[in-house]
Chain A
Amino acid sequence: MRAALRLLVAAVVAAAIASASAQSKAVSEETVHEVAVQLRCVVCQNLSVADSPSEMAGQMRAIIRERLAAGESPDAVQRYFVQRYGEWILLSPPRRGFNLLVWLLPLVAVAAGLAIVAILIARWTRRARGAAEPVVVDAAMSERIRREVERGS
């Protein structure tokens, strides 16, 4: 029983190691893409390094591939480029300091818009309800109306 258990554990561990090492080759192209898609291609303006068909982008992708294969983490590769080109090379401004403005202001705008609409709807439905106050008909009035209607028909 214990031997079987040990065998099972060994098998699982072996499989994990095997899949991990098989992954590290296969993941590479995808990881390259993931890193490249965050970086701005410096020659074509507004395309990512992953997307750009330019020669410079191809060379940058090769550099990314090399560095990842050498064991650098995707973050470290990104930092390498930022150290040389500045924040500008990131296609999405880092969520720090002044840049928080561009990330938060849209949320604020949506919230403000929803708030305004909510207030307006509340005000407008209240006004409608106020205007549509049901007319209070008292008993004497209904009696008179009934008699008039009978006389008329």
Chain B
Amino acid sequence: MRRLWRWLIPLAVLPVLVLLAYGFRMSPRDIPSPLLDKPAPTFALTTLEGAPLMLAAHRGKVVVLNFWASWCYPGCYEEAPILEKNWRAYRERGVVVLGVAIQDKREAAEKFVRDFGLTFPNAQDLTGTVSVDFGVYGVPETFFLDRQGRIRVKHVSAVTDVVFRETVERLLAETGAR
């Protein structure tokens, strides 16, 4: 029996190997947001056209808040047309898409909006306060807010058509306060 204790030595490495193997299933960049189901922070910015952009003004609608940057390739480039398309499809149904550009130069941001023909309001977060307030750590990131102004879904990386429509439909279907 005593002879068997020595085999503990090679067996001791197994837990470590298992842990490392588990690591493959996780993405180190996927950080869960502690803001889910909490009221979204308010902000007051100015759009690239000069109009005020206040989150509070859109209470009562489903809000799709998208953080982007012109240098964020390929993610923001992939999702911009999707956002625009769905904005046009849903704007009559009480959904609003808002874009916030972070760490960007004004001309670059304006060019991005022009190139993709974005018609939803886009503002620059010059100081980074809004992005930090929302716990943004990279672009693109999109927050889906319900009609009561709570953050319900945080989507990291480019938004796909399916994600947009499913989430928005789900939030639209909700009635009253939760």
Question: Which chain A positions have C-beta within 8 A of B138?
Answer: 42-43
Assembled-state Cα–Cα distance A67/B136 (Å): 19
Cβ of B127: which chain A residues have Cβ within 8 Å of it?
Answer: 59, 62-63
User: Which 10 A-B pairs have CB atoms at the shortest separation, nearest pair first?
Assistant: A59-B128, A42-B137, A84-B135, A86-B34, A55-B103, A85-B135, A88-B31, A63-B132, A63-B129, A60-B132
What are the residues of chain B within 8 A of A43 when measuring CB–CB?
A: 137-138
Whether the pair A86, B133 counts as a contact (CB closer than 8 A) is: no
B1-57 CB contacts (< 8 Å) to partner A: 31-35
Per-residue A-contact encoding for B130-146, CB less than 8 Å = 1, 0 else: 01111101100000000
Residues on B with C-beta less than 8 A from A81 are 132
* A59, A82, A83: most-surrounded residue (chain B CB, <10 A): A59
Instruction: Name the one of A63, A84, A85, A88 contacting B128, with C-beta atoms under 8 angstroms.
Output: A63
Write the chain B residue with the least CB distance to A57: B128
* Closest Cβ–Cβ distance, residue A38 to chain B (whole Å): 16
Which residues of chain B are within 8 angstroms of A62 by Cβ–Cβ distance? 127-128
* A86–B128 CB distance below 8 A: no
- CB proximity of A11 to chain B, nearest CB, Å: 43
The interface residues of chain B lying within 8 Å CB-to-CB of A42 are: 137-138
- Taking the closest CB of chain A, its distance from the CB of B145, in whole angstroms, is 15
CA of A63 to CA of B128 in the docked complex: distance in angstroms?
8
- Check: A8 CB closer than 8 A to any chain B CB: no
Question: Would you list 25 pairs from A and B whose C-beta atoms are within 8 A, ordered by A residue?
Answer: A42-B137, A42-B138, A43-B137, A55-B103, A59-B103, A59-B127, A59-B128, A59-B129, A59-B132, A60-B128, A60-B132, A63-B129, A63-B132, A81-B132, A82-B34, A83-B34, A84-B34, A84-B35, A84-B132, A84-B133, A85-B31, A85-B137, A86-B32, A86-B34, A86-B135
